[in-house]
A = this chain, B = another copy of it.
Amino acid sequence: MKTVIVIGAQGKMGQAALTGLGKHKVITASRSGEGCDYKVDITNEQSVRQLFEQVGHFDAVVNTVGFCEYANFVEMTEQQWMTTVMSKMMGQINLVRIGQEYIADNGSFTLISGILNVKPIPFAIADATTSGAIDTFVKCVALEMPRGIRVNAINPTVLEEAWEVYGEMMPGFQPVPGTLVGKAFERAVDGFLNGEVLFVDA
Q: How far is the CA of A146 from the CA of B122 in the complex (A)?
A: 13
Cβ distance A153 to chain B, nearest Cβ, rounded Å: 12
Q: Which residues of B contact A90 (CB under 8 A)?
A: 78, 81-82, 85
The reply to whether A136 and B132 form a contact with Cβ atoms under 8 Å apart is yes
Contact A125 B100 (CB under 8 A): no
Judge whether A136 and B146 touch: CB under 8 Å: no
Select A137's contact among B82, B100, B129, beta carbons within 8 Å: B129
Does A74 count as interface, using CB distance less than 8 angstroms? yes
Contacting residues, chain B, for A124 (C-beta < 8 A):
140
Most buried by B among A72, A128, A132, A143: A132
**A132 to B141 CA separation, bound complex (whole angstroms):** 13
Give chain A's interface secondary structure class: helix
- Residues of chain B within 8 A of A81, CB atoms compared: 90, 93
A2 within 8 A of B: no
At the interface, yes or no: A139 with Cβ under 8 Å from chain B?
yes
Q: Is A129's CB under 8 angstroms from B122's CB?
A: no
Let me know if B94 and A74 touch, CB within 8 A.
Answer: no
Which of chain B's residues have a CB closer than 8 A to the CB of A116? Answer: 140
* Interface mask (A136-164 → B, CB under 8 Å = 1, otherwise 0): 11011101111000000000000000000
Task: Known contacts A45-B78, A93-B81, A97-B76; decide if A129 and B120 are in contact (CB<8 Å).
Answer: no
Q: Is A135 an interface residue (CB 8 A)?
A: yes
Chain B neighbourhood of A100, CB < 8 A = 74
Chain B residue with the shortest CB-CB distance to A144: B73
Task: Tell me, yes or no, whether A130 is within 8 Å of chain B by CB.
Answer: yes
Interface string of A81-97 (1 = CB under 8 A from B): 11001000110011001
State in angstroms the CA–CA spacing of A132 and B94 once bound together. 17
Q: A85-B90, A116-B140, A120-B139 are in contact. List 8 more A-B contacts (CB 8 A).
A: A73-B141, A82-B90, A125-B140, A125-B144, A129-B133, A131-B136, A132-B133, A133-B136
